[in-house]
Amino acid sequence: VGDREVIGLLFRRLLDPMYQNGALLDGFPRTKVQVECLKLLHEKMLQLQREYAHSARALSFRRPTFHIVMLFVEEREAINRQLKRGREILAHNNEVRQTGIGELLEERATDLSEETARKRYQVFKEKTFDALQSLREVYHYHFINAHGTLSEVQQRILQEFHYQSALELDPETFEAIKNIPLASELTSHARQELVRRLDSYENSDPVLLGQVVSFIERKMMPIILRHAMSGQANINSEDSILSQHGAIAMLIDVLSERGFHTVVDIHRIEIPARFDLATGEITCREKKVYRLIVRFKGSEIRRG
């Protein structure tokens, strides 16, 4: 199919609203003409993004992000895969013809002959590969080793396309949020930080640490044990130990070390303490209720 037909068909399809958030194109671009048309599309989208950047229609003209992906195998591997596909299709079609069950699959000439398979690979290297190489300086370019099993190649693709906000967000958006740390950064050294904090509790305030551990053992563990099947225990407490400075942090860290995930919320309740009969004024005292949610891996019952 000629470049004009390919480009016309493709660009018309991309106008369909179903592709407003993006599209994955397999086997495009294949030629230098298609590469240049892709560049023109990208430039036009950038022009529209700049034109409408500060208007009410800005979200309809977002900054385009193009990724070029090359799944590469060497010539011998490519030929072997094509011939294997050809053998499998021939066997399938023979069975369909004999039984009348199923649908015939396309028998590609390049899958049935080693010579034509090799010629197809050479055309790819001489035309498509060179055309795509020229896009390295323009777009995000991903060169992925496609040797190996399907699952191995899938993992390489997933790793390569791990979300990278700096590449995909508008620069202004990224600049606005970049100081918020990534969750992965917070957790990368979480275990070492937990160990450091627990040791510091023992060194700086062993009395409070002992009281917190005692509270967990006496007041919390009996309730947690009763919820061993569900893997979540909700505990309300007014114990004064939790009001001491640093006690809640110690409690969360101790339970984390033991494999529990704990969330603590403080609920403040106004309780009437005195009523002035002359003025009608009500004086209240504040009562703190500590709501603790403890999650862990529950038990699974295997039923016959």
pLDDT in tens, 156-199: 988 888 767 666 677 777 788 888 887 877 777 788 889 999 99
pLDDT at 138: 82
Reported as type and span, the H/E element at residue 159 is helix 150-160
User: In the chain, pLDDT over 70 holds for what percent of residues?
Assistant: 97
Tokens of 153: 């190649």
pLDDT at 175: 80
Burial of 254 (0-12, 13-18, 19+ CB in 10 A): buried
Q: Residues 205-240: pLDDT tens digits?
A: 999 999 999 999 999 999 999 999 999 999 999 999
Angle between helices 206-215 and 247-257 (to 10 degrees): 60
Reported as type and span, the H/E element at residue 286 is strand 282-295
pLDDT at 272: 83
Cα separation, 290 vs 243, whole angstroms? 9
pLDDT of residue 131 exceeding 90: no
pLDDT at 281: 87
> Which of the four pLDDT bands, split at 50, 70 and 90, describes residue 243?
very high
Cα separation, 260 vs 173, whole angstroms? 36
Q: Residues 252-264: pLDDT tens digits?
A: 999 999 999 999 9
Tokens of 123: 């055309």
Among 20-24, 102-106, 118-122, where is mean pLDDT lowest?
Answer: 20-24
* Eight-class DSSP state of 86: H
pTM for the full predicted model: 0.56
Rg (CA), the chain: 32
pLDDT at 130: 79
pLDDT of residue 292 exceeding 70: yes
Nearest to 118 by CA among 131, 129, 109, 107: 109
Cα separation, 144 vs 147, whole angstroms? 9
Choose between 189 and 101: higher pLDDT.
Answer: 101
pLDDT at 303: 64
Residue 105: count other Cβ atoms within 10 Å of its Cβ.
Answer: 13
pLDDT at 294: 97
pLDDT of residue 54 exceeding 70: yes
Reported as type and span, the H/E element at residue 269 is strand 261-275
How much is the average pLDDT of 118-133? 84
How much is the average pLDDT of 34-46? 92
